[in-house]
Amino acid sequence: MRILVTGGAGFIGSEFVRRWLTSEPTAHVTVLDKLTYSGVEENLASVARHPGYRFVRGDVCDPDVVDQVTAGQDAVVHFAAESHVDRSITGAGPFVHTNVVGTQVLLDAALRHRVGRFLQVSTDEVYGSISEGSWTEEWPLAPSSPYSASKAAADLLVLACHRTHGMDVVVTRCTNNYGPHQFPEKVVPLFITNLLDGKNVPLYGDGRHIRDWLHVSDHCQGIELVLRGGRSGEVYNIGGGTEVSNHKLTGLLLDAVGADWDRVTYVADRKGHDLRYSLDDSKIREQLGYAPRFPFAEGLAATVAWYRDSRSWWEPLKTGGARG
């Protein structure tokens, strides 16, 4: 299968590309990535010599480059996005441009070149916040931040392309990911790297916000299952089943590096902060055999170890201050 992976130099996209090329010696993957602040081409160094690998630096909003890289593809796996909620609160423009306009540019090219399947990588944040129970795929979209609103808009454009043009599309909506190669502005790598540097960590509000954590490798397993076997025009939730408050997560990370609560600075809550995310992912489990493999405690310990051993990766990226 020849696939175009947008945003393949980012945290999740690079895991997907490494996994795909490692498991399939005859695979062909073209990565289209603008290499924004969160894109790191070195994330793909381990597969750079694979004969089926090609890297193109370019913008998903640029119709010319998108047209060139889309021709001849069997599938598009669309990760490229502005992905950090805090940045969307201080400046929504790039989120609308990349996440909404960029998705439509890709859809137009995929339609023109009759690409076999378009997979939109989305997020549970499009559903908003839920105090009790869990979202199924039928839940109405009620995004809270400019980031999640731009992802919801993109999801709707993708699904509209199916209804209008009959394009083969699938949408995945995943919970919060953690793992190696995550840009150190998001909460897990920000806290780990701050603690390793002897600095304090900034905890929003009272830390009662609940997230459902999933290892990045399990997310990519889910994407692969949907790419290969998902039903056209449908949405698949990908969950972790590990709901943890930010307070508890902070405690686990402090323990992992041997630090105390005096290293925590409580800061004013994020504007419009969603209280709880919780996905019902029985559809992908029952229909496609999805089952996350990384227990949270093990995955988190491995992630802390990776950051401890990979200072040369994160030190140059670290700007400090932002949180995910």
Ligand X SMILES: NC(=O)c1ccc[n+]([C@@H]2O[C@H](COP(=O)([O-])OP(=O)(O)OC[C@H]3O[C@@H](n4cnc5c(N)ncnc54)[C@H](O)[C@@H]3O)[C@@H](O)[C@H]2O)c1
The catalytic site residues sit at 124-125, 147
Query: What crossing angle do the helices spanning 63-70 and 102-112 adopt, rounded to 10°?
Result: 40
DSSP codes, 134-156: -B-TTSPP---SHHHHHHHHHHH
Residue with the shortest CB distance to ligand X:
10
Q: Is the separation of the CB atoms in 236 and 173 below 8 Å?
A: yes
> Per-residue x/- marks for ligand X, 96-135, CB under 6 A?
--x---x------------------x-x------------
Angle at 300 between CA 172 and CA 85, to 5 degrees: 50
33 touches ligand X (CB under 6 A):
yes
240 touches ligand X (CB under 6 A):
no
81 touches ligand X (CB under 6 A):
yes
At 271, the amino acid letter reads K
Return the residues of window 140-169 that contact ligand X according to CB under 6 A: 151
Residues 10, 16: Cα–Cα separation, whole Å: 10
Shortest gap between Cβ of 39 and ligand X (angstroms)?
Answer: 2
179 touches ligand X (CB under 6 A):
no
184 touches ligand X (CB under 6 A):
no
For residues 102 and 299, which CB has a smaller minimum distance to ligand X in the complex? 102
Residues 284, 291: Cα–Cα separation, whole Å: 9
Based on C-alpha coordinates, what's the Rg of the chain? 19
> Per-residue x/- marks for ligand X, 54-73, CB under 6 A?
-----xxx------------
Only one of the segments 21-29, 78-86, 220-228, 289-297 lies at the binding site for ligand X (rule: CB under 6 A); that segment is 78-86
174 touches ligand X (CB under 6 A):
yes
CA-based nearest residue to 176, from 8, 6, 11, 9: 11
218 touches ligand X (CB under 6 A):
no
- The helix/strand count (H/E) of the chain reads as 12, 12
Which of 70, 83, 103, 237: binder of ligand X (CB under 6 A)? 83
Which of 16, 118, 127, 183: binder of ligand X (CB under 6 A)? 183
Residues 80, 82: Cα–Cα separation, whole Å: 7
For residues 173 and 285, which CB has a smaller minimum distance to ligand X in the complex? 173
Q: Is the separation of the CB atoms in 198 and 192 below 8 Å?
A: no
Question: How many CB atoms are closer than 10 A to CB 248?
Answer: 13
10 touches ligand X (CB under 6 A):
yes
Which of 5, 11, 109, 296: binder of ligand X (CB under 6 A)? 11
Shortest gap between Cβ of 165 and ligand X (angstroms)?
Answer: 22
Which of 18, 28, 34, 283: binder of ligand X (CB under 6 A)? 34
Residues 218, 215: Cα–Cα separation, whole Å: 5
Residues 244, 267: Cα–Cα separation, whole Å: 19
What is residue 42's DSSP assignment?
G
For residues 6 and 259, which CB has a smaller minimum distance to ligand X in the complex? 6
Which residues of this protein are in contact with ligand X, per CB under 6 A? 6-7, 9-13, 32-36, 38-39, 59-61, 79-83, 98, 102, 121, 123, 151, 174, 176-177, 183
